[in-house]
Amino acid sequence: MKLFNYFRSSASFRVRIALALKGLTYDYVPLHLVRAEHRDPAFTKRVGDALVPALETDDGHLLTQSMAIIEYLDETHPEPAVLPADALGRAHVRALAQMIACEIHPINNLRVLKYLRNDLMVDESGKDAWYRHWTRNGLEAFERQLALLAKEREAAGLPASKYCWGDKPSMADCCLVPQIFNAQRFHVDLEGLPLTMAAFTACMALPAFQKAHPSACPDNEA
């Protein structure tokens, strides 16, 4: 397999985590987003949205969108699973993952920040304020949801979650860790999010998350 990605891309980071959790090997193909390498015709003729990550499978199919790629990996390499075995658990994990991938990340990614800066002429402090506001707002909602799910688990007689849901890292954790990494880069206030940060800390103690971290990527100096 080949993973076309950028070391700081949250969506790419998610997929690297899933690959590492499953112990899958792949060729790392860097595309520097700031330098617009993802706009190269050799890439865009294969990827309609010209975004990373994109995963080329062993049989030559090219998959896009991080959530779809992670679910593909879970279906084709089911152990260890990143989605729970039961339908209710899968729904909870997907919802948590989407709170980050569909609510927080899209309005704070590089394309949006560049548009704010270059087209709407928002100054650097204004751009950073935008990022911090929407990230904090989204993480507060995420924390509230984790608290509600904790009560649900308690009522059902289930043990408290070590990660976002349960005692194993899931697709929700694959999404959470990159979001916290970028929140730290932008100096977002992360106080008062005990469940969220506990899940993040538990994840970062695992080798798979460390292996997938931007600092461990071959293009991290770029």
Write out pLDDT tens, residues 160-199: 999 999 999 999 999 999 999 999 999 999 999 999 999 9
How would residue 35 be classed by pLDDT, with cut points 50, 70 and 90?
confident
* Higher per-residue confidence, 172 vs 32: 172
The full DSSP string for 164-212 is: SSSSS--HHHHHHHHHHHHHHHTT---TT-HHHHHHHHHHHTSHHHHHH
pLDDT tens for each residue of 107-161: 999 899 999 999 999 999 999 999 999 999 999 999 999 999 999 999 999 999 9
- Nearest-Å Rg of the Cα atoms of the chain is 17
Q: Where in the chain is the domain with CATH 1.20.1050.10?
A: 87-211
The pTM is what? 0.95
What pLDDT, on a 0 to 100 scale, did the predictor assign at position 50? Answer: 87
Task: For residues 84-89, give the mean pLDDT.
Answer: 97
- The CATH number of 2-80 is which of 3.40.30.10, 3.40.50.2000, 3.30.479.10, 1.10.3720.10? 3.40.30.10
Q: HSE (CB half, 13 Å, CA atoms) of 90?
A: 8
pLDDT over 70, % of the chain: 99
CATH architecture assignment, domain 87-211: Up-down Bundle (1.20)
Q: In the chain, which segments carry CATH 3.40.30.10?
A: 2-80
pLDDT at 77 over 90: yes
